[in-house]
Structure 1
Amino acid sequence: MNKPALHLLPLLLALPAAAPAAGDLAATIATLDRAVFDSFNHCSDPAQLQRHADYFDPAVEFYHDTGGVTRTREAMLENTRKHACGRYTRELVEGSLQVFPIKDFGAIAQGSHRFCDIAGGKCEGLADFTMLWHLHDGQWTLTRVLSYGHRAAAAAGQP
């Protein structure tokens, strides 16, 4: 190794060995987003509600601008069971998902989503979200969720 390259050695050693490429991380989080909300969209089935639960850390904090705060997975699931399962489905607004890595922890996902009334067949609700994904021992879980800016989709210029 020539002398000029030696000064790069400490920088190379400091890089995390398993840091995913930005595109890979975004694809992973997009896949997780689809999976967590596929289970949400079918949560009237107890097996799907359990599958949905498995994406959340037991101590997840969920902040909802109109529904308040829950600080455990069980409390969050009870709200989901009571207010959403069999009533609403969620759709990601196409092109809205942004993913930001968090060193040695996981990722932040931000975007917008529509909520559709199953009985009426209309997607009239729109909101923004921020979710904190944690990668631990090869498993991704949600530790913080913020759902805010709930409004009528028509008021936001959404179909």
Structure 2
Amino acid sequence: MKTTLRLLPLLLMSPAAAVLAADDLATTITALDDAVFDSFNQCQDPAQLQKHAGYFDPAVEFYHDTGGVTWTREAMLDNTRRHACGRYTRERVAGSLQVFPVKDFGAIAQGSHRFCDTASGRCEGLADFVMLWRLHDGQWSITRVLSYAHRAAHPPAVQP
């Protein structure tokens, strides 16, 4: 997916222009996050898994608090294929995504997401994430991922 959004140095902009550029960046990264996880949610289809792969840099580093670290796109995709595809989907928690520009590089996306069991449709898992997006030659790609604080989406009721 080519995106031609160019980030102007915020120091050279008026405050109103800086807010507009930040809004454009947030819109772009939100759309990319939606696209990444649309393909993730359909990754049992090999074409969708390949599409999902295209969002990640070949040398992506993926840090998962319960699953460990992978150092390449292929290792990350292997984990996705074995542990996620067809088993669960991901949905971002509404209003949780925050986007921060990274000068001369791209953006940081931070938020929370729920995991939903494909068979039951129940969304019982919750985690936080950070993704580092790089804009290079008009192309956005994810270079680093942190997925952490995995927990139950709803704590069990306290029994008397």
1:140 aligns with 2:135: no
One-letter identity of the residue aligned with 1:82: R
Give how far 1:153 is off.
0.1
Question: What residue is the counterpart of 2:22 in the other structure?
Answer: 22
Question: What residue is the counterpart of 1:7 in the other structure?
Answer: none
Please state whether the residue corresponding to 2:155 is helix, strand or coil. helix
Give how far 1:73 is off.
0.1
Give how far 1:120 is off.
1.4
Please state whether the residue corresponding to 1:33 is helix, strand or coil. helix
Question: What residue is the counterpart of 1:68 in the other structure?
Answer: 68
Distance of 2:132 and 2:121 partners within structure 1: 30
TM-score, normalising length: structure 2: 0.85
Structure 1: runs of 5 or more not aligned: 1-11
- Length, aligned pairs only: 143
Residues 41-86 of structure 1 show CA distances to partners (whole Å, capped at 9, x for unaligned) of 0000000000000000000000000000000000000000000000
Q: Map 1:98-117; keep pairs closer than 5 Å.
A: 98-117=98-117
Please state whether the residue corresponding to 2:95 is helix, strand or coil. coil
User: Which has the larger Rg?
Assistant: 1
One-letter identity of the residue aligned with 1:44: Q
Residues 89-113 of structure 1 show CA distances to partners (whole Å, capped at 9, x for unaligned) of 0000000000000000000000000
Structure 2: runs of 5 or more not aligned: 1-8
Q: Map 1:7-156; keep pairs closer than 5 Å.
A: 15=12, 21-155=21-155
TM-score, normalising length: structure 1: 0.86
Higher relative contact order (CA 8 A, sep 6+): 2
Distance of 2:66 and 2:86 partners within structure 1: 20
One-letter identity of the residue aligned with 1:58: P
Please state whether the residue corresponding to 1:86 is helix, strand or coil. coil
Give how far 1:155 is off.
2.2
One-letter identity of the residue aligned with 1:38: D
Q: Identity, % of aligned pairs?
A: 79
Please state whether the residue corresponding to 1:21 is helix, strand or coil. helix
